[in-house]
Copies of this chain bind each other. A is one copy, B any other.
Amino acid sequence: MNFHEILKQKTDRANAVIRAYLPKEEGAPARLIEAMNYSMTAGGKRLRPILMEEAYLIFGGTETVIEPFMAGIEMIHTHSLVHDDLPALDNDLLRRGKPTTHAVYGESCAILAGDALLNYAYEIMLGSFSQTARPELAARALRLLSLKTGIFGMLGGQGVDVENDGREITADLLQYIYEKKTAALLEGSLLTGAILAGASDEETAVVEAAAKNIGLAFQIYDDILDVTGTCEELGKPIHSDEKNHKTTYVTLYGLKEAQERAEALTRDAVERIRLLRGDTAFLVELALSLTSRRV
């Protein structure tokens, strides 16, 4: 099988795992649960659970405990998208070519659905401790993931991003936002998989540095696609950064240098990944594919 066939298989697997962990749409809060599940099944690359499982496999993990963590990180990610799309934040009516959650279910329901997704992620990951012979690793992985999600990780990055909406910002602050808003949760993905599989502190340090660079490259490439992509490919409006006077890697450094930086970060990440024990071939190809994607 070539890379794209393997990726398709792994995406199908991630989708099946996610589906298995969605709450049932029944009882009094059925509509709120429907809104949660709508946002969870409205497409997406499933990059975070795929990265997480790949790290788990590289370090020899064999238990089903990885599955609730895969579903959990996608719920955390989706929670952030649902709230990011709200009228008070990005005010987006379209994501991945489909109406956003608040566009379908209303604003109050979307706020609570986002809250419920974040909390449900913790519910299912905390429920997984009985699925593993090493619950202390699950506790360590979950603690780490909570830090990458929170005020000193993704949510902090979102806060700074929103606070500076429509303003020109410095290169340092842009770097902070990208490291936190995007890279932190990708670090959380790979680190959680590695920790659950029993990787050593030295190994998780390598994983974290590689993940950070993958995350930065991924976000820079998002800036590039906003200029070079088409609305049909991306399922969302293009040139939105320019319209919103948003500082990006492209506005700061130009298209060519942004592309070069994304590629350099990816090369660095790939070199680190190749240092790891285990079969890293797919993870290397996946990292490389993220800076040549069209969506």
Residues of B within 8 A of A126 (CB): 139, 142-143, 146
Partner among B86, B112, B160 whose Cβ is within 8 Å of the Cβ of A159? B112
Partner-binding segment picked from A59-67, A147-155, A218-226, A251-259: A147-155
Partner-binding segment picked from A29-37, A193-201, A284-292: A29-37
In the assembled complex, the CB of A195 is this many whole angstroms from the nearest CB of chain B, namely: 13
Partner among B28, B119, B147, B157 whose Cβ is within 8 Å of the Cβ of A155? B119
- A173 interface residue, CB < 8 Å from B? yes
Residues of B within 8 A of A152 (CB): 23, 27, 29
Partner among B32, B120, B123, B129 whose Cβ is within 8 Å of the Cβ of A139? B129
Identical copies of this chain, number: 2
Contact, CB under 8 Å: A162 / B109: yes
Partner among B28, B29, B88, B136 whose Cβ is within 8 Å of the Cβ of A108? B88
Residues of B within 8 A of A31 (CB): 159, 163
In the assembled complex, the CB of A144 is this many whole angstroms from the nearest CB of chain B, namely: 9
Contact, CB under 8 Å: B143 / A129: yes
- A229 interface residue, CB < 8 Å from B? no
Contact, CB under 8 Å: A162 / B83: no
Residues of B within 8 A of A147 (CB): 123
Contact, CB under 8 Å: A158 / B88: no
Q: How far is the CA of A180 from the CA of B173 in the complex (A)?
A: 42
Residues of B within 8 A of A80 (CB): 115
- A241 interface residue, CB < 8 Å from B? no
- A176 interface residue, CB < 8 Å from B? yes
In the assembled complex, the CB of A73 is this many whole angstroms from the nearest CB of chain B, namely: 13
Residues of B within 8 A of A119 (CB): 118, 146, 149-151, 155
Q: How large is the interface on A (under 10, 10 to 19, 20 to 34, 35 or more residues)?
A: 35 or more
- A122 interface residue, CB < 8 Å from B? yes
- A279 interface residue, CB < 8 Å from B? no
- A99 interface residue, CB < 8 Å from B? no
Query: 8 Å CB contacts to B: which residues of A222-265?
Result: none
A36-77: contact bitstring with B at CB < 8 Å (1 yes, 0 no)? Answer: 100000000000000000000000000000000000000000
Residues of B within 8 A of A158 (CB): 112
Q: How far is the CA of A163 from the CA of B31 in the complex (A)?
A: 9
- A97 interface residue, CB < 8 Å from B? no
- Residue pairs across A and B with Cβ atoms less than 8 A apart, 17 shown, are A23-B152, A27-B152, A31-B159, A83-B111, A83-B112, A86-B111, A112-B155, A112-B158, A112-B162, A114-B115, A115-B115, A115-B155, A116-B155, A118-B118, A126-B143, A129-B143, A135-B136
Interface residues of chain A, those whose CB is within 8 Å of chain B, are: 23, 27-29, 31-33, 36, 79-80, 83, 86, 88-89, 106-109, 111-116, 118-120, 122-123, 126-127, 129, 135-136, 139, 142-143, 146-147, 149-152, 155-160, 162-163, 165, 173, 176, 180
* Beyond A88-B111, A112-B155, A112-B158, 14 additional pairs, beta carbon < 8 A: A23-B152, A28-B156, A29-B151, A31-B163, A32-B155, A36-B151, A83-B111, A83-B112, A89-B108, A108-B165, A109-B159, A112-B162, A119-B151, A120-B151
